[in-house]
Chain A
């Protein structure tokens, strides 16, 4: 993959909640959100002219149970989300894999679902949304990388997401540590690294 690094900017934050950095496309504007129960960096990506949703990349920091959150393990955290999101029309879990991301154990999954967009309009179109999440438990926090968008937009910017994920590193880690562990993200969806075969189950619908 060829990436023009001069078109990327480095995300860092003065907030201790965002104790990580990554490179992101310069025209994706990051927004830092600190709310009750979570903190998030949200970056809106470009959207195609006919898109009614576009796409985004976000990194969310959520406390584990030990820190006052709801879930103790990454599996519980993921199951809770999947149980909610599977109520969307045409929900499918496309893949799930375990591996290492930024020197920590991680789970990555890809889902798709649809919704009529724009919401609450007369001429909404049933629109397929693709979403990829990488969940990392590190210390007493979950770090969730989220990449989501309409089918077309998702694929159009997938290399940007992969670059953002591949350049992600926790501030406390040395460059050598970050380099020692290549991200779970693989070159092209849905060819995800499969480290434990049993994680590939049947599609859920």
Chain B
């Protein structure tokens, strides 16, 4: 899995494709991430580095693309794989966002991260893992307060 749609034109683009491919392979190597990687491949979701609205990664359902922030070039493939698990879950659900969907996206992110991280630390992914170690009702309460306008389902 790598950037799809256009062939890389220069060394920078080749480097980006390599990083995304590596993260995608890490994602596919995990129990929870494997079907997500399969969905991204099957749906032809384009994944590339670009501008985001402060997000580390975001999924645009209309364009069927996941944008990883340009500021994340130096982020480890394990961290990128965890974020791809989160965004890839939104691709899998293929319906308007909800608390339930965000919960599953965070859960996938946490599980992929825990499977890959070993001794690695990442403040965001570690926090997400801690939230998802709470009981489901407590994790959802935090998500509900963060995404104030989302419906339950």
Contacts and interface: CB of A to CB of B under 8 A. Distances in A.
Interface in B115-137: 123-124, 127-128, 130-131, 133-137
A44 B148 CA distance: 8
Given A38-B137, A85-B134, 14 more contacts: A35-B137, A44-B145, A53-B146, A81-B134, A84-B138, A87-B133, A115-B127, A115-B131, A116-B124, A119-B106, A120-B57, A120-B124, A122-B52, A122-B55
A35 B71 CA distance: 39
Interface residues of B, number: 30
Contacts of B144: 31, 42, 44, 56
Interface size on A, as a range, is 20 to 34
Contacts of B136: 35, 37
A62 B137 CA distance: 10
Contacts of B54: 118, 121-123
Given A40-B137, A121-B55, A122-B55, A53 B145 contact: yes
Interface string B31-66: 000000000000000000000101111000000000
By secondary structure, the B interface counts as: helix
A81 B138 CA distance: 9
Given A33-B152, A53-B146, A84-B135, A120 B128 contact: yes
A146 interface: yes
B124 A119 contact: yes
Contacts of A35: 136-137
A137 interface: no
Nearest to B99: A33
Nearest to A88: B130
B16 to A, nearest CB: 17
A9 interface: no
B26 interface: no
A87 B130 contact: yes
Nearest to A36: B136
B69 interface: yes
Contact of A58 (B57, B106, B141): B141
Contacts of A54: 145, 148
24 contacts: A35-B137, A44-B144, A44-B145, A53-B145, A54-B145, A84-B138, A85-B138, A87-B130, A87-B133, A88-B130, A89-B127, A115-B127, A115-B130, A116-B123, A116-B127, A117-B146, A119-B124, A119-B127, A120-B83, A120-B86, A120-B124, A121-B55, A122-B71, A124-B124
